[in-house]
Amino acid sequence: MTASTGYQGYQAPSGQTRAATGAARLFAELPAELTFTVDVEPENPADDRDCVIMTRRLMDLLEAGGGHGTFFILGVLAARRPDLVQEIAARGHEVACHGLYHRALEHGSPATLLAELTEAKRLLEDLSGRPVLGFRAPMFSLTRRSAWAAAVLTEAGFRYSSSVVPAWNPMHGWPGAPRRPFRFASGLLEIPVPLGRLGPLGLPFLGGMYLRYLPPWRLRQFSEQNRDAQGLWSYCHPYDVDTARAGAGHSDRGLLARLFLRCNRDVAAPRLTGLLDGRQSRPFVERLDQLAADAPLFAGRL
């Protein structure tokens, strides 16, 4: 695979090639098909210019290997930057919804969420010119406490969600939820976060801080665990690859969390490039029939 232009300027060309080649070996055991997803949200809500620049670089990185992905876009960002939504769609990627505001589901009500999702979905559809079928909850916050949201998502017209961490997690998780695609009682298809198993823990190793901080040998181990995974996907944020401007965002997080969010970004783009090496990334919307086939009904306590 040709080295992506998505992170040029962050490392010398030889460093790019070596890092991406080394990273490819970490993910060698994973299936040949996945969906590359991006949570399009600004790190600094007061200034979304960096978010736009980094989103374009992630598209460059993905397209360097001929792939397309699913971009979950925050509604308030779409309202400010309609050009970005239009560009994502024009470049062949799926436009999906990340909510109107970046707020955990449990902090809203069914009526409020329905109104916000209706507004965000209509805006994204108007800008992209396509139906918006997918949703991802901010911070993967579809949990047992917010299980009511699945019915709201169905009512709002979404066909699938990618919002559940099917394990305990210090932020949001749903222990006991299936680790393969499943359906809620409302009919909504859920495509849960792929996990690496570490004793009783499940770690979302293909994205975010986990992808940036886990040591190579652990990523290799988790990849081997997922060689037969159904519905494999990765995730990242525009700021994950922004090594030049670790901004002043994440004011809602503690000091330690902000430090982790801002550091170790130089490995993100090479690892994402290595993950894509030799694999085909297709948007979720193109994989829905395959992912929904034999998806069990989740009978967990809601």
pLDDT at 6 over 90: no
Instruction: Please give the backbone phi and psi of residue 125, each rounded to the nearest 5 degrees, phi first.
Output: -70, -40
Q: Read off the pLDDT of residues 89-143 as tens digits, 9 standing for 90 and up.
A: 999 999 999 999 999 999 999 999 999 999 999 999 999 999 999 999 999 999 9
d(CA 159, CA 176): 22
Token pair in block for residue 87: 């560009």
CA atoms within 13 Å, Cβ hemisphere of 193: 31
Task: Compute and round to an integer the Cα radius of gyration of the chain.
Answer: 18
Cβ contact 116:99 at 8 Å: yes
Instruction: Please give the backbone phi and psi of residue 83, each rounded to the nearest 5 degrees, phi first.
Output: -60, -35
d(CA 270, CA 278): 14
Token pair in block for residue 218: 């652990």
Express the helix, strand and coil content of the chain in percent, nearest 5 each. 45, 15, 45
pTM for this entry:
0.91
Cβ contact 161:188 at 8 Å: yes
- Looking at residue 104, its amino acid is A
Other beta carbons within 10 Å of 256 = 8
Domains of the chain, CATH where assigned:
5-292 (3.20.20.370)
Beta strands in the chain (DSSP E): 33-40, 70-73, 94-97, 134-135, 160-161, 182-183, 189-190, 196-198, 201-203, 233-236, 280-281
Q: Read off the pLDDT of residues 206-225 as tens digits, 9 standing for 90 and up.
A: 999 999 999 999 999 999 99
Task: Find, among 178, 140, 182, the residue nearest to 39 by Cα.
Answer: 140
Pairing assessment for the beta strands 182-183 and 189-190 based on DSSP bridges: antiparallel
pLDDT at 252 over 70: no
Q: Read off the pLDDT of residues 159-198 as tens digits, 9 standing for 90 and up.
A: 999 999 999 988 899 999 999 999 999 999 999 999 999 9
Q: How confident is the model at residue 19 (pLDDT cuts 50, 70, 90)?
A: low
3-class DSSP state of 295 = coil
Q: Read off the pLDDT of residues 24-68 as tens digits, 9 standing for 90 and up.
A: 999 999 999 999 999 999 988 888 999 999 999 999 999 999 999
| Rounded average pLDDT over 274-279 | 96
